[in-house]
Amino acid sequence: MRYLDHAATTPVRPEVLQAMLPYLTERFGNPSSHHTVGEAAAAALADARARVARVLGFRPADIVFTSGGTEADNLAVKGLAIGAALRRRAPVHVITTAIEHEAILASCDYLERVHGFAVTRLPVDATGTVDPDDLAAAIRPDTAVVSIGYANNEIGTVQDAAALASVTAAAGVPLHLDAVQAAGWLPLAGTGADALSLAGHKVGAPQGIGLLAVRSRLPLEPVLHGGGQERDRRSGTENLAGIIGLTTALELAEAERAESASRVSALRDAFIARVLERVPSARLTGHPTRRLPGTASFTFAGTSGEAVLLELERRGFVTSSGSACAAGSDEPSHVLLACGIAPEVAQTAVRFTFDHRERGDVISVADALAASVAAVRSGA
């Protein structure tokens, strides 16, 4: 069986497991404990925080470790918005887009429903791209945070982070980039973002660990309250083994990024070309060139995406129709709908996401996809 759903999750790298093992066995201390075992754990935590900060271009004090990308997105959106509202003593305004991950969209819905905040959801064009001019026009005097995905998890479109950051900086509004899918593929330092969220399991670390890098000068209301860990920004005993794993995986991904992105982009382009050749009715979703190196998503009008997936798995290839967080839903993808794709066509989507270390034969995958589409259309 060949796994082609790395945007959903990746296997843990052997180097990461090796780095984590001591912190699951003999170095098991609680970083908040005031004895030698706890102090050793605290030193390891501080070292990991500094190493992550170097990769991201933030300061160590800006790094907040979380349970994953969803918590990091929640902390960024809710924390920055509520922090600003408390400082202003008035409701605030939040800007996002129509194609964000559910962690951002649901956080915005919560702020709107529970706190009465105003939320603007920017449109995108047919490629899933945000127009910086639309962002500039949407910013108001009470805008507290702009939250946009650096790269989309379903269609792979990469936003012009520098242009977006230029707009928010000129307006004095914090920009949060959801970089969960970008890690290992795109530059993370120098984006101009004031906050950046990551998830370990997208880059070869375990599930259940992530981080939010957020400028310490910004008011941030915690989502989790308790013992005041993470400089009072995220309470709860730190998952030290997971943090070591995330740090190791992030450093490896960054060291390999340029080579991986170049190699996998070439494989992706060959795969796309073969699919469009073998299945002329296939439609590539997302931006044709400004896309993640490992992502290729298509719609196949007149089929069922789920049926194509079953046919592919029968032939030994495992992939998905889109976001794992929406798996099992009968609703068409909100991302594809926002790109102007009809609901009945959106439900035919199939997404392929390759690993950073992919070196395999992609032509056989394209041929299996063509055979699967043909089988679904023929009812075989």
Q: How far apart are CA 380 and CA 368, in angstroms?
A: 15
Distance CA 1, CA 128 (A): 32
Domains defined for the chain, CATH in brackets: 2-6+257-378 (3.90.1150.10), 14-252 (3.40.640.10)
pLDDT digits (tens, 9 = 90+) for 265-311: 999 999 999 999 999 999 999 999 999 999 999 999 999 999 999 99
The predicted pLDDT at position 328 comes to 52
Residue 293 identity (one-letter amino acid): P
Is 111 in contact with 78 (CB distance < 8 Å)?
Answer: yes
Q: Give 262's pLDDT tier (boundaries 50, 70, 90).
A: very high
Q: Does pLDDT of 380 surpass 80?
A: no
pLDDT of residue 323: 57
Active site residues: 325
| pLDDT score recorded for residue 331 | 83
| Residue-level pLDDT at 321 | 87
Does residue 379 register a pLDDT over 90? no
- In terms of residues, how long is the chain? 380
Percent of the chain surpassing pLDDT 70 = 97
- pLDDT surpassing 70 at residue 250: yes
Q: For the segment 96-108, what is each residue's pLDDT rounded down to a tens digit? A: 999 999 999 999 9
pLDDT grade for 7, boundaries at 50, 70 and 90: very high
pLDDT for the residue numbered 77: 98
Residue 344 to residue 286: CA distance in whole angstroms: 18
* Structure-block tokens of residue 96: 């996002």
- Stretch 191-215: mean pLDDT: 98
Say how far apart CA 42 and CA 282 lie, in whole Å: 53
Return d(Cα 30, Cα 101) in angstroms, integer: 33
pLDDT at 326: 52
- Write the pLDDT tens digit of every residue in 10-55: 999 999 999 999 999 999 999 999 999 999 999 999 999 999 999 9
The pLDDT value recorded for residue 325 is: 55
The mean pLDDT of the chain is 96
Q: Judging by beta carbons within 10 Å of its beta carbon (0-12, 13-18, 19+), is residue 284 exposed, middle or buried?
A: middle
